[in-house]
Amino acid sequence: MELMAQIIGLVNQKGGVAKTTTGINLAAYLAALGKYVLLVDIDPQANATSGVGLDSQTVPLNLYHSLIGGLLPEEIIRKTALFGYDIMPAAPDLAGATVELVSQPNREFKLYELLRRIRTNYDYILIDCPPSLGLLTINGLVAADEVIIPVQCEYYALEGLGQLLRTIELVQENLASPTKIKGALLTMYDRRNKLSRQVRKEMERNFSGHVFSAVIPRCVKLAEAPSFGQSILQYNPHSKGAKAYRQLAQEIISLDK
Ligand SMILES: Nc1ncnc2c1ncn2[C@@H]1O[C@H](COP(=O)(O)OP(=O)(O)OP(=O)(O)O)[C@@H](O)[C@H]1O
Ligand SMILES: [Mg+2]
């Protein structure tokens, strides 16, 4: 059967809202539920790369070599320890890509072009974006069919969301990219905390119908897993964080039916 991946960007220019944690663990559960998944790390911090157990210092080839060096995506993609779960690794080199891309034609479409070639190998391609609205993230938005916006349940949660939504609109209009919002994902939720409950209410008001039912609780196991190069499915599948990411994966699969 010919596959045709749905390409989903994990975007929020705010740092530390769980874009990478969501990328690593959503990919793991989509794979566990029988899907072929590619996680694309477009962040020079390379946290998704190290989070699945690769050392970005020693991985010889990374996204930089494809975006700038012209290597085929197949040449840089690596398998992870989980069946059906591949990664396109990043490395700190990628920071320089922004500067090198600026002078190139179609600089916003480089990632789109790369992923277009390999779409038929996967069910889902997840793009872990850096915490900025710079050229790498714009490449992520153009390449993505849809975006998931992780939102950390804290005081400044909604700050910057307006700017993010305007950027998505600009990409839709000026770059003729049909990128849609798949949903906002509440992360680091603490139900005993009044603020968490307020953020949830606010989000449900602002993104009515577009907030995932799966809510990711604050869970220390989720924070520990990457230091072992493991997803939560491998590190602690019984934790509440694991259950929440499993639920998110199921929700995404059922939305696509
Ligand atoms: N549900 C959670 N419970 C506890 N800690 C979490 C949870 N989700 C993420 N974290 C931790 O919060 C920090 C930020 O998460 P993460 O790196 O996924 O965010 P990010 O949005 O990718 O950050 P950046 O913007 O720097 O790329 C990490 O230390 C991570 O382990
Ligand atoms: Mg990250």
Locate the ligand 1 atom nearest the alpha carbon of residue 17 and give its number: 21
**Position 58 confidence tier, pLDDT thresholds 50, 70, 90:** confident
Whether the per-residue pLDDT at 3 is higher than 90: the answer is no
Q: What is the pTM of this model?
A: 0.97
Question: Distance between CA 44 and CA 89 in Å, rounded?
Answer: 10
Half-sphere exposure of 213 (CA within 13 A, CB side): 8
The residue whose C-alpha atom lies closest to atom 14 belonging to ligand 1 is 16
Question: Distance between CA 177 and CA 114 in Å, rounded?
Answer: 16
Whether the per-residue pLDDT at 257 is higher than 90: the answer is no
- Tell me the pLDDT of the chain averaged across its residues: 95
**Nearest ligand to the C-alpha atom of residue 16:** 1
CB 41 near ligand 1, within 6 Å:
no
CB 20 near ligand 1, within 6 Å:
yes
Beta bridge mates, 146: 8, 180
**How large is the greatest C-alpha to C-alpha distance in the chain, in angstroms?**
51
**Position 57 confidence tier, pLDDT thresholds 50, 70, 90:** confident
Question: Distance between CA 105 and CA 136 in Å, rounded?
Answer: 15
Q: How far is CA 176 from CA 22, 43, 71, 147, 228, in A?
A: 27, 24, 26, 16, 41
Kindly report, residue by residue over 216-234, the tens digit of the pLDDT: 999 999 999 999 999 999 9
CA 229, chain centre distance (Å): 17
Locate the ligand 1 atom nearest the alpha carbon of residue 224 and give its number: 31
Of 20, 219, 220, the residue with max ligand 1 atoms within 8 A of its CB, to mutate for a pocket test, comes to 20
Kindly report, residue by residue over 178-225, the tens digit of the pLDDT: 999 999 999 999 989 999 999 999 999 988 889 999 999 999 999 999
Interval between CA 125 and ligand 1 midpoint (Å): 20
The residue whose C-alpha atom lies closest to atom 8 belonging to ligand 1 is 18
Q: What pLDDT was estimated at residue 154?
A: 86
**How many CB atoms sit inside 10 A of residue 192's CB?**
7
Q: What pLDDT was estimated at residue 159?
A: 86
**Nearest ligand to the C-alpha atom of residue 150:** 1
User: What average pLDDT score do residues 106-127 get?
Assistant: 96
Whether the per-residue pLDDT at 156 is higher than 90: the answer is no
**Position 30 confidence tier, pLDDT thresholds 50, 70, 90:** very high
**Position 110 confidence tier, pLDDT thresholds 50, 70, 90:** very high
Q: What pLDDT was estimated at residue 56?
A: 79
DSSP string of 88-130, one letter each residue: E---TTHHHHHHHHHTSTTGGGHHHHHHHHHGGG-SEEEEE--
